[in-house]
Amino acid sequence: MAKGPTSTFAAQRASAVILIPIALWFLWSLAAHAGEDLEGARNWLAQTHNKFLFGLFVTVGVFHGRIGLHEIIQDYFYGGMAKTLDTIAIAAAVLIALITWISLFQI
């Protein structure tokens, strides 16, 4: 995890670059498969590359998002409130990634 401002900046940019191709895959998949029923959704997620890319999109997404949320929190809040909001953001990011991976491996 990034420690200082410089490594945070680098982590934000690196995760952004990783997300570009995965987001393109996600949008393409959404256009191709939107509205499918449970069987369609499961068949799609059962394919290894879809499972892996979906999990990666969510995981790198919340990692990148947590950096951005921290940046916004730092701009508008001081001290204890900023710490509380940061903790909520981290907890949400971890929870979202965990629920996604556990669910993906149950399919």
Check residue 42 for interaction with another protein (CB under 8 A). yes
Nearer to another protein, 1 or 79 (CB): 79
Number of Cβ atoms within 10 Å of the Cβ of 10:
12
Q: Is 48 in the site for another protein (CB under 8 A)?
A: no
Q: Which residues bind another protein (CB under 8 A)?
A: 13, 16-17, 19-20, 23, 26-27, 30-35, 37-38, 41-42, 45, 54, 57-58, 61-62, 65-66, 68-69, 72, 74-79, 92-93, 95-97, 99-100, 102-104, 106-107
